[in-house]
Amino acid sequence: MRPRNCLIALVACATVQTVHALSPEPDPCGRPAPGAELLEPRNLHSEHGVLKVDLSIHNYREPDGSVRYCYLLPDGSESPALRLNPGDLLILRLTNDLTDMAAAPSGRALAATVSAHSHTGHSHPLRPADPCTSSAMTPVSTNLHFHGLTVPPVCHEDDVLRTSVQPSDAPFEYRFQIPMNEPPGLYWYHPHIHGFSSPQVSGGASGPMIIEGLERATPQVAGLPERLLVIRDQVLVNPNAPPAKSEPVVPKMLIDRDGDAANNGTGFGKPAKDLSINFVPVPYPDYPPAMIRMRPGERQLWRVLNACSVTYLNLAVVFGRAPQRLGLVAIDGVPMNAPLGRSRPVTWVDHVGVPPGARVEFIMDGPPAGTPALLVTRTVDTGQGGENDPNRALASIVATADAPEPQSKLPAFSKPLPPPMLPWLGDVTPVRVRHFYFSEKLQNPDDPNSATEFYITEEGKTPAPFAPTASAPDVVAHQGDVEDWIIENRSTELHAFHIHQLHFMLVDWSEMPVNEPFLRDTVNVPYFRAQMLEYPSVRLRMDFRDPSIVGTFVYHCHLLEHEDGGMMGTIRIEPAAAAPKLAH
């Protein structure tokens, strides 16, 4: 469950309970009404090998006390899609316009507040810190993580450990080149301030990135119209409403110690979070679906991002009640047939699971005219200790001859991608095997309502929550190596493992060989049941061969409430020259 830990997020916990007492200000983060037709994010394309973006982050307190966040372009467009080619240069200037919701001063008046509340505890109100070394972790601090990209974990590129931008700072420039070997597909950007990632992301601070060229890896998508769907979660709009009358009667609603709806095992009942799709809310209890219009029978490529802070998705398209075939072509930004000849370019399924942070891209055929159709998420069993992720509709798919085409279409023909420069990850013998485990503990074991601490621990070490001020990394590896990581789940709820800067291969699932012929950057780790004789686990082949990942970065559970609660560790990749000879 998500932590109710005011020690980790003291100011955030206070602001949730504070009513904005000043005169109302315009809402910079407006949202469509439930049931509205979907609009896709605005596309920003690179030109002549460069994409320049001015982006600002804002927040706004809703009448119910919840806080909404948004990324805006200068013209007011929200959360644009950044579209680049391998080799392109991204220059993104981020302006922090967050407001302290406790006092609600103007964003530019927060310099003293921010500098006095870094996680180090030092106070320098007259000397704003360098954003590259600030490490400030406050409700109004922010930064950007470019999820899935293989770019260096350094300031101005993809560092989330020290880089922290305050409302008093000048626009902060991110500048990096997309690697030439970056797989074509769907990626995303979001803030990654420890202790405050969850409220910012669940408030709406996220946006998609696309590395062009999927048709070069998968000719079956060449020429298809493409539709970009971003699914986010948010605080329940109607938390006290009874379930819809159309739902079957379920056992008495379970509430966890944080006040969330707990997994009840039925697939129905109150969810832990509401969902939205391209910002169109789909609120409990009736789940009025957003609307997608498309031409009857038209084949499209759908690119779907799970930008939820804590909600798992299990996506399906149904005509009437019949699930339809979805042609899965990419997972987590990597084409299914990236290792040429090892996988089918299209894998046909009738549903696809998407953990928080993950992405899927699939071919779908629109319904015939007059046929009722829905995009839905089926229930996900998150375990006895998990949140409730029930069945619910997301969007109705309406087939009409006059439906507008999506704003983008893939090229009809492109030169195939060159073969990979490195051997397929599954053919490489790992130089070592490491063991980790997820676990949880009440801060006060005698008080079932006390806050939960979350851990990810290497076997043989003592569990401890992530320490931002730690001088040494949790793990040291070497560029050029390949390792196997076995990750157990010793808790009774589902977790989603994610690591920055690289993709990995799923080798086995609870000791059953899988050897997936494709790569991921986020994967579920099944939960523990009392009757099990062993803890469930996954075995991942970790790829540290790319020289651009030298440096220090993080791995964590991508349920952001768990990450904020301590379920995160650091890894330092040292240059290959520093690697000692290994005896085999």
State how far the Cα of 349 lies from the Cα of 460, in Å rounded to an integer.
40
Q: Which CATH superfamily is 10-213 part of?
A: Cupredoxins -  blue copper proteins (2.60.40.420)
Six token digits for residue 420: 């990979």
- DSSP lists the bridge partners of residue 220 as none
Per-residue pLDDT, 562:
95
Place of tokens 């699930």: 323
Residue whose C-alpha is closest to residue 285's, from 314, 317, 261: 261
CATH for 430-578, options being 2.60.40.420, 3.90.1150.10, 2.50.20.10, 3.40.1160.10? 2.60.40.420
- Domain borders along the chain are 10-213, 225-409, 430-578
* Strand (E) or helix (H) holding 517: none
Per-residue pLDDT, 205:
98
- Other C-beta atoms closer than 10 Å to the C-beta of 64 total 10
107 φ/ψ angles, rounded to the nearest 5 degrees: -55, -35
Domains 225-409 and 430-578 share a fold: yes
State how far the Cα of 445 lies from the Cα of 467, in Å rounded to an integer.
22
Please check whether residue 131 is in contact with residue 172, taking contact to mean a CB–CB distance below 8 angstroms.
yes
- DSSP lists the bridge partners of residue 553 as 571
Helix (H, G, I), strand (E, B) or coil at 328: strand
State how far the Cα of 40 lies from the Cα of 415, in Å rounded to an integer.
28
What is the DSSP pairing of strand 392-399 with strand 290-294?
parallel
Q: Could you read off the pLDDT tens digit of each residue along the chain, which spans 584 residues?
A: 544 443 333 333 333 333 334 445 788 999 999 999 999 999 999 999 999 999 999 999 988 888 999 999 999 999 999 999 999 999 999 999 999 987 443 333 333 333 333 444 333 444 568 999 999 999 999 999 999 999 999 999 999 999 999 999 999 999 999 999 999 999 999 999 999 999 999 999 999 999 999 999 999 999 999 999 999 999 999 998 988 888 887 776 666 655 578 888 888 889 999 999 999 999 999 999 999 999 999 999 999 999 999 999 999 999 999 999 999 999 999 998 766 666 678 999 999 999 999 999 999 999 999 999 999 999 999 998 899 999 999 999 999 999 999 999 999 977 888 888 899 999 999 999 999 999 999 888 877 777 789 999 999 999 999 998 888 999 999 999 999 999 999 999 999 999 999 999 999 999 899 988 899 999 999 999 988 999 999 999 999 999 999 999 999 999 999 999 999 999 999 999 754 544 43
What is the CATH architecture assignment of 225-409? Sandwich (2.60)
Q: State how far Cα 192 lies from the chain centre.
A: 10
Per-residue pLDDT, 114:
37
